[in-house]
Amino acid sequence: MKYLTTLLLAASVAAPAFATDAPITDKERIDQLIEQNKMLIAQNARLSEQCERPKTKEEAFAQCMQAARGEKGAMATESVGANCRLLLK
Mean per-residue pLDDT, 24-47: 94
Does the pLDDT value for residue 34 go beyond 90? yes
What pLDDT score does 19 carry? 55
* Element housing 7 (H / E): helix 2-19
d(CA 53, CA 3): 18
**Side chain identity, residue 15:** A
d(CA 8, CA 80): 30
d(CA 18, CA 89): 53
Domain ranges within the chain, ordered by starting residue: 1-16+24-53, 55-89
**Model confidence band, residue 1 (pLDDT cutoffs 50, 70, 90):** very low
**Model confidence band, residue 32 (pLDDT cutoffs 50, 70, 90):** very high
Does the pLDDT value for residue 61 go beyond 70? yes
| Reported pTM | 0.41
